[in-house]
Amino acid sequence: MNVLGINSVYHESAAALLVDGTLVAAVEEERFNRIKHGKKAEFDNPHQLPEHAIRFCLNYAGLTAGDIDHVAYSFDPKLRRTRYRAEWWDPRLEETFRLRLGQVRGAIEELLGRSLGQRLHFVPHHLAHAASAYFPSGFDRAAILTIDGIGETACSTLAKAIGTHIQSVEAFEYPHSIGFLWEVFTDYLGFSHYDASKVMGLAAYGNPEVFRQQFLSILRADEVNYGVAQELLGVHPERFVRMAAMFGPPRDEDSEILPRHADIAAALQAATDAAVTALVRRIKRRVPFENLCLAGGVALNCVTNELVRRSDEFSNVFIPSAPHDAGTAIGAAFAAHCKKQKRSPQRGNSTPYLGPAFGRRDILAAIKSAGLTARRSKSPARDAADMIADGKIVAWFQGRMEFGPRALGNRSLLADPRRSDIRRILNQKIKHREDFRPFAPSVLAEHADEWFEVGAQSASHEFMLFACRVKVDRRDLIPAVVHKDGSARVQIVTRKSNPRFHDLISRFFAKTGVPLVINTSFNDSEPIVCAPTDAIVTFRKSGIDALFMDDLFLTAQT
C-alpha cells in the first residue's frame, strides 16, 4: 500500500511517501521553489500544494499517480468548523480559509489526474504531529506532547500511544498558544515572525529576571493552571499598546539591539521553559510511561528540549528531525496507513536523509552550465578536512538532502571551531545575519561525552535539537561553537547514520585533536540548497572557499 502524505495548510509545505509502511521519501517544497517555508501562511492558500515535493516523492519511488492508494492531508476541515469561535478573529477571513480548504480535494485530484473518493483522508493536525514523532521513535508505547501555534483549534495536545493507536488525553485550545506567543514577540523584537531561532539565540545575552513578573501575567503554567493571555495574541487591536506599556516601544527591524531586547527574549525563554516543563509533568501524571515524544514547532527550541531531557520525568525523549509543520506530512501518512492497514508500519526509522540525491552526471552538468571546471578528489573527506583545518570555509554537498530545518552533514557549510574569529566571518560574510547568532558543532559520537554534557545519547541528538553544556575545560579550545551561556546546539554524528560526514570529522580529528567541526546550513538568506545548481549559485555569490559535491570540488579560484 502506497500512502502520500501532504502538508500545506499553513506553512512548511511538504510531502512524504510510505511504501508498504516504510518511509521512503520526505521533502519540503521550499527546497525546490526556493521560497522560504514553501509559501506564506495566509488564510487563502491551504489548497496550494507542494507540487514539486509530491512529484519528487513519486519519482524517487518509481511510482505514478495511479500507484497511490491513499492520500493524507494534515488538517481536518470538519474539526475546524465545529470548534472555531467567531470572537477569535475576523469571520470573513475564516470563511475564506474554509472555502480554500474546500478546494484541497480538487487540487490534489487535479495534480494526480484521478478521483480519490474515500482514498483521501483529512488527518487532524496534532494527530499528524504526534504520529510524525511516535512512529520514527521506535517506542511501542509513549506519551506524546505536541506544542505549536495552532492545529485546527488546539495549540497544545497531550496524547498516549500504544502499539499503532494514538489517543488524545487533553488539549489546550486557542488562544493558549506558546507558538503564537513566540511569533508575537519575534515581531515585537523586530524580526520576522518565522525567526524564533533568533530570539532563542538572543535570550542567552539577557537577564530573565528583568521582565519575569510581566511574563507571569502573560504565560501561566503550573501544576494546575495553563494559559496564555488572549489580549496579546491574534488580531487584538490594543496588543502592541499593551506590550509597549509592559516592555517599552517595539524594536524596528533595522534599529540597534539593546540590552532591553535581550532581557525580553530571556524572559520569554524562561517562561517557555517553565510552561513546557509544567506540561511535561502534567502528561507524566496522565500517561505514566517511560517514553516521551515531542512534536510541533515549539519542539525546535533546543534550550527547552534540553531541560525536558534533563528533568528525568521520562527515561527516553525523542524528537524527530522535522517536528515543525513539514513533519505532519510524514505523520499524516502514518495515520492513514494505520487506519487502513492492520499491519504496523515500520518503526524506529528516524533518518533525516529522505530528500533527493544527485549523481555525477547531474553534478557535472551543473558545473559545465556554470562555465566552471572542477577537480576530482581521491579522498573528499581528507581534502575537505585539511582545508577546514587550514581555516577555509567548506561547502559539503553529499547524498540525500535532509528533511527538517537543520543541515545535518549533507547540505552543510563547515568550518574550524578552534578559530575565535570564524563566527564573525560566517555571520557577516557568508550568512549575512546578526552577530549574536551561534553556530552548532557536529561531533563524533565516540567523543561527544568528552567535550559536551550529553548524558544518555539518543537518536534525536543526531538532529541538533538539544542545547548541551560545553565542558568547562574544553570551551577555550572550541570558542566558535560556545554560545554566550556556555551551551552548544550539538549534532552527534555516528558512522552508521552518515559515514561520509563521520569520515570527514574523523580526518579533522586526526589532524587537529578536535573531534568536531562547525556545521551550519548551506544557504545565504534562502532555503537550504537542494540541487547542484543551487549549491553552485550560493557558492559563487558568497565567501565560501571550496565546494565539494561527491568527489568533485570547486575552489574560490576556480
Give catalytic residues, as residue numbers.
11
DSSP for 4-31 reads EEEE-SSSS-EEEEEETTEEEEEEETHH
DSSP for 504-557 reads HHHHHHHHHS--EEEEEES-SSSSPP-SHHHHHHHHHHS---EEEETTEEEETT
Ordered alpha helix ranges (H), 40-90: 51-61, 77-83
| The one-letter amino acid at 110 | E
Cα–Cα–Cα angle for 11, 14, 19, rounded to 5 degrees: 155
Q: What is the dihedral of CA 69, 27, 145, 36, to 10 degrees?
A: -130
DSSP code of residue 297 = G
Sequence-ordered list of residues with C-beta below 8 angstroms from that of 534, at least 6 positions apart, any chain: 34
Cα–Cα–Cα angle for 172, 314, 229, rounded to 5 degrees: 25
Tell me whether residue 512 is exposed, middle or buried, using C-beta atoms within 10 angstroms of its C-beta: 0 to 12, 13 to 18, 19 or more: middle
Longest dimension (CA), the chain: 65
Residue with cell 540597534: 256
Residue 371 parent element (H or E): none
Q: Tell me whether strands 219-221 and 226-228 are parallel, antiparallel or unpaired.
A: antiparallel
Residue 363 parent element (H or E): helix 360-369
Residue 490 sits at φ, ψ, to 5 deg, of -80, 140
CA distance 232 to 175: 9
Q: Tell me whether strands 487-493 and 440-444 are parallel, antiparallel or unpaired.
A: parallel
In angstroms, the Cα distances linking 469 to 272, 318, 441, 454, 485 are: 19, 19, 12, 8, 8
| The one-letter amino acid at 411 | R
Per the CB < 8 A criterion, the answer to whether 39 and 11 are in contact is yes
